[in-house]
Amino acid sequence: MHRNLLLSLFLFIATASIGQSDKFKYDTDLLTKEFHASRREALRALMPDSSVAVFFANPERNRSNDVDYQYSQDPDFYYLSGYPEPNAVLLVFKEKIQIDSIFTNELIFVQERNAFRESWTGRRLGTDGVKNILGFKHALLNGQFADISIGFERFRKIYCIEPKDDMRDDKNDRGDLFSLVKHYRTKTANLKTKDSYNLIQLMAVLREVKTPEEMKLLRKAINITCESHASLMKSLDTTMTEYQAQAIIEYGFKVRGSEYPGYPSIVGSGENSCILHYIENRRHCRNNDILVLDAGAEYHGYTADVTRSLPVNGHFSTEQRQIYDIVYDAQMAGINACLEGNEFRAAHKAAFAVISKRMKELGIIKNEIEAMKYFFHGTSHYLGLDVHDAGLYGKLKPGNVITVEPGIYIPEGSDCDKKWWNIGIRIEDDILITTGKPENLSASLPSKADEIEKIMKEKRLFPLPAVEK
């Protein structure tokens, strides 16, 4: 058969077999097009008259040679559009305006369908999919952005957060992200109405208060996380490595429907329990170790963030139990401070007060301010589409979801009795601010010392191969 005919036949078959993007083909509980449209409308309500907000999709990032990292959309872009693909730009206008032959208050430019590329890297929505599935009335190909007459000079305010300069330029694609940003800069050159800071603030206003649709996905991510943590509690023992513990909990995420971890899992034993963001996870666990496990599942873009500190042999030593109980009591004080109208740092202040007082009572520190050497991070951050989510860090509001995660970390060589060395403890839960008492969304996972020791006595779930030490 003639080569061109073969190619034409292949493209016809490929095109005929490609339907909607996999994300929308297989998952039935994604955020709806109505949700994303409502978020765009909410943004318009915050924007001043005669303004435009410009959002770019995240860059694709290279891992090595011809292998890229799995693509993850910019959270603001996803929040407003639901579009999961790269090389796109979204414009949200305060009022309806005329752009060439289009009269609209929003416009999205996306990558085109390509049967050959899709057979290699997955299905694309194209303009028809963006209209039919995501509900946009006007969607154009990204290659058209260079030529369309936006007329940015007509706006009193141009909001935009440009991507960092880590974009690759595909010389054969005038619609790639590099080109989209380049043409935006050309179209807005010398205009003094551009503003990035206030767009960050506007998006924080929206994203810091979770809607019921978002809470459904966030609860799912947290439930997956708690069940997976519990599986590891039942499996952990002194023969295990940190990476085997990581494998068990991340298996739990995946088998329960999570797409991937929301952040690199922190699995630190012994001296590594005192490193806040330790992610190498290569050490062999030992008999008297504490294992700090900070890992959260991501589900449809929303991530949990839960930490437990476990005695590898199933029983806390006297010193480990004393430090653990301080952190537990500090966390309870922090959670109780998560009330509507309180300042964001109320949980931290409450937790720090407990830790500083009790560490002084144990003789680990002489003055309460010295507790900062061993509790050197904040207690809370917002949670949502980012593990450290957008928010204003002002007064707590119903619908805020924040973490409460006090910790004590006493590395070897610390200025205290050696019996405390290499004890690192952090306890973290995900808290929903309500009009009444705070709701601990991850409360199903045991956190009291006695409860942890009890669940760790249960039947081992994952017999693992021995690893040479």
Q: Is 294 a catalytic residue?
A: yes
Q: Is the dihedral of CA 148, 151, 152, 156 positive or negative?
A: negative
Q: Helices 346-361 and 318-336: crossing angle, nearest 10°?
A: 150
Q: Is 388 a catalytic residue?
A: yes
Q: Is 229 a catalytic residue?
A: no
Question: How buried is residue 120: exposed, middle or buried, by Cβ count under 10 Å (0-12/13-18/19+)?
Answer: exposed
Is residue 382 helix, strand or coil? strand
The residue from 2, 26, 49, 66 that is catalytic is: 66
Please spell the DSSP secondary structure of 394-446, one letter per residue: SB--TT-EEEE--EEEE-TT-SS-GGGTTEEEE-BEEEE--SSS-EETTTTS-
CA–CA dist 248, 319 (Å, integer): 28
The residue from 208, 214, 409, 429 that is catalytic is: 409
CA 228 centroid distance within chain:
18
The residue from 305, 386, 389, 430 that is catalytic is: 305
Q: Is 159 a catalytic residue?
A: no
The residue from 377, 393, 439, 453 that is catalytic is: 377
The residue from 60, 76, 405, 429 that is catalytic is: 405
CB neighbourhood size of 257 (10 A): 14
Q: Is 259 a catalytic residue?
A: no
CA–CA dist 99, 368 (Å, integer): 63
CA–CA dist 200, 197 (Å, integer): 5
Q: Is 409 a catalytic residue?
A: yes
Task: Assign residue 261 a region (left: φ > 0; alpha: ψ between -120 and 50; beta: otherwise).
Answer: beta
The DSSP 8-state label assigned to residue 277 in this structure reads: T
Largest CA distance in the chain: 86
Is residue 467 helix, strand or coil? coil
Q: Is 377 a catalytic residue?
A: yes
Q: How many DSSP H helices and E strands does the chain contain?
A: 13, 19
The DSSP 8-state label assigned to residue 180 in this structure reads: H
Strands 51-56 and 439-440, sheet pairing: unpaired
425 in Cβ contact with 290 (< 8 Å): yes
The residue from 219, 229, 283, 381 that is catalytic is: 381
CA 368 centroid distance within chain:
34
Pull the structure tokens for residue 276: 């806040």
Tell me which residue of 427, 438, 439, 433 sits closest to 394, measured CA to CA.
433
The residue from 176, 214, 289, 428 that is catalytic is: 428
What letters, b where the CB count within 10 A reaches 16 and e where it falls short, cover 147-172? eeebebeebebbbbbeeeeebeeeee
Q: Is 243 a catalytic residue?
A: no
The residue from 76, 294, 386, 389 that is catalytic is: 294
The residue from 40, 123, 308, 426 that is catalytic is: 426
Q: Is 2 a catalytic residue?
A: no
CA–CA dist 145, 197 (Å, integer): 24
CA–CA dist 180, 77 (Å, integer): 15
Q: Is 348 a catalytic residue?
A: no
CB neighbourhood size of 99 (10 A): 16
Residues designated catalytic:
66, 277, 294, 305, 377, 381, 388, 405, 409, 426, 428
